[in-house]
Amino acid sequence: MIEKLEEFEMGFSLIFSFIGLSVVNVGLWRLYRIYHIRKNGVSTQAKVIKSEFTAFRPIGDGPSIPYFQYKVGKRVIRKRNPSGNDSLSKYKLGSRVEIKYDPKRPEKFVILTDDGKVVSILLIAFGALLMFVVFADYLGVV
């Protein structure tokens, strides 16, 4: 019985280690994307064209997700805020914001005043903490 419990704990530890590593990787990828676009991107103005409430936030209950429109040559691109921040309160409908987009994939952009670094750093910290707790428990430190 004790052996089965130890096997279960080991499997549980491996699952949570994998989850923690995955969350760290997502955070690192987001930081890399932000850095790459800030360094190599093309600056332009984007206009806030609409907002959309999520299924988790009914209309009138909390912030909504802003959508931006900008031109790349003759192409018009309409995309939601890529930083992951639901922040229409920062961006009023019809207002303009400075963005940088990836010249190779113009639909990828960052808002220069709100590029999502905080969310990325929090993801990395959470994933690292999760892995630390799992390994500390496995090593008997906690």
For residue 108, give both structure tokens.
């990828």
Coil, strand, or helix at residue 78? Answer: strand
**Is residue 103's pLDDT more than 60?**
yes
pLDDT, averaged across the chain:
80
Angle, CA of 134, 23 and 56, to the nearest 5°: 115
72 compared with 34, residue with greater pLDDT: 72
pLDDT single digits (tens) 55-65:
555 555 555 77
Model's pTM, two decimal places? 0.68
**Is residue 43's pLDDT more than 90?**
yes
> Phi/psi of residue 90, each to 5°?
-80, -30
pLDDT single digits (tens) 16-25:
888 888 889 8
Q: Sorting pLDDT into bands at 50, 70 and 90, what band is 117? A: confident
Q: Sorting pLDDT into bands at 50, 70 and 90, what band is 118? A: confident
Q: How far is CA 73 from CA 30, 70, 77, in A?
A: 26, 10, 10
Domain ranges of the chain: 2-139
Q: Residue 64: which of 55, 48, 53, 49 has the closest Cα?
A: 53
